[in-house]
Amino acid sequence: MNDQDKLANLGAIIAVRGSVVDIRFDTHLPPIHSLLHAQDGKIAIEVLAQLDAQRVRGIALTPTQGLARGMPVEDMGGPLKAPVGQGILSRMFDVFGNAIDRQVAPTDVQWRSIHREPPPLTQRSTRSEIFETGIKVIDVLVPLERGGKAGLFGGAGVGKTVLLTEMIHNMIGHEAGVSIFCGIGERCREGEELYRDMKEAGVLPHMVMVFGQMNEPPGSRFRVGLTALTMAEYFRDDEHRDVLLLIDNIFRFIQAGMEVSGLMGQMPSRLGYQPTLGTELSRLEERIANTEAGAITSIQAVYVPADDLTDPAAVHTFSHLSASIVLSRKRASEGLYPAIDLLQSSSKMATPGIVGERHYLLAQEIRRTLAQYEDLKDVIAMLGLEQLAPDDRKVVARARRLERFLTQPFFTTEQFSGITGKLVSLSDSLDGCERILNDEFKDYPESALYMIGAIDEARKKAPPNKPEAKAKPAAKPEPQPEVAHATDAHES
């Protein structure tokens, strides 16, 4: 350490403008992305531009209170680094790799630069594989790609965090993988709640959490995604394990880049975004890849400004995604969890060449049935179910049973719902949907298909309706559906 001090490259601050700091070096100029320390390491600065032969301009990753002209700055001799290794599991970190879970710092770790190149094309796996989640509605209608990126669109209170938590649980349960949660611009409340939920759900030992909180400077929020990615790459490349990387929220990464760009004095592009938006997002997204060693599968929460899908942030993000999962507040209010909008969600993997002919045709038939039901809802609301043609009534019955079969009890909500969680294989999910479409369960009450795993559980849950009971639904008695679930009575 003393030898390093003797050889330290020291500079002096010549200007401070908010988070932007200009520093003069008389010996040699630090390279771009170098980490600089001021005030004995209390303030960290990352070099973003070399102004001339002696001056660099950097962005502070910590608050700059106390900085003044003439203060000494030390070049740390390298870029920002992140801890990697077995010691980071079950822990929570900030952008610098400091533990923020009030426990001792991990010891069994290595430190690696957060600025790494994406894997070259020669090392990437060219196979398109399905990433099974054990969640029926996702595996059947919106299959995720192993080593791909899925966008999760949804507002507050529709079940984003529960869905992410369940995926982490299932990943550990049947994939023997590692999960990494990256909070970009998270509120401290959200981080604390998520940590507590993960701990109670028993999934913390196989996951890592990294947070760049909302109150931190834009430079810190801009780099926290790269810190999480470096950790994920270690588990993929060194330990050959599959990694589930959850990012919340990718829009805040773009927003932090926009703030940094403005502070650095770059000319803004369309709608005020930074001119380097596409490059910065690609640097992050292209490192999420499927190689021969393992795969990093990413699920990213995406906020769409003003619901405008032509916004540059949304357009650039969409180009990287292989699946889009849209959460619906209407379905959540009906108790149909997970509250995924079955018609708006889509996946590039849902083609016959990847999922197979049977799976593809079944998914298309499910969507067709649900779309027909959606069209008939207005007629049912005005005239009643009895006024529909017999064929249309069959479509409605199939669609309602499909909607209920595609609900699922989660392991992470057992303590709230009292229903044991279910992990359902893709073959069981397809089998259940196929049998419902073939009217095998037309005599069973809809409630028998609600919150079950495999389709055969419906037989144990409720006996089929007797022939004389078939006339009852025409009178629409209120109590019967409410006995099972209030949502069945008020669906339409």
**Angle (CA) 268 272 273, round 5°:** 80
How many whole angstroms from its chain centre is CA 373? 30
Judge whether 200 counts as a catalytic residue.
no
What dihedral angle (degrees, nearest 10) is formed by the CA atoms of 182, 184, 189, 190?
-50
* Burial degree of 14 (CB within 10 A; 0-12, 13-18, 19+): middle
Positive or negative: CA dihedral 141, 146, 148, 150: positive
Helices and strands: H and E segment counts in the chain: 17, 18
CB 195 within 8 A of CB 207: no
CA distance 369 to 343: 10
Catalytic residue among 186, 259, 280, 446: 186
CB 329 within 8 A of CB 341: no
Catalytic residue among 17, 127, 187, 470: 187
CA distance 70 to 468: 91
How many C-beta neighbours within 10 Å does residue 382 have?
8
| Closest C-alpha to 437, from 366, 344, 336, 360 | 366
As a whole number of angstroms, the longest Cα–Cα distance in the chain is 94
* Burial degree of 348 (CB within 10 A; 0-12, 13-18, 19+): middle
Catalytic residue among 160, 331, 404, 422: 160
Phi, psi angles (nearest 5°) of residue 475: -80, -15
How many whole angstroms from its chain centre is CA 219? 22
CA distance 212 to 219: 10
The H or E element containing residue 256 is helix 250-263
DSSP 310: T
User: With b meaning 16 or more CB within 10 Å and e meaning fewer, what string describes 252-279?
Assistant: bbbbbbbbbbebeeeeeeeeebbeebee
CA distance 280 to 219: 13
CB 63 within 8 A of CB 21: no
Instruction: Report the half-sphere exposure of 161 (CA within 13 A, side-chain side).
Output: 16
DSSP 117: P
CB 31 within 8 A of CB 230: no
Judge whether 189 counts as a catalytic residue.
no
Judge whether 160 counts as a catalytic residue.
yes
CB 149 within 8 A of CB 318: no
CB 25 within 8 A of CB 54: yes
Structure tokens at 284: 């992050």
Write out the catalytic residue numbers.
160, 186-187
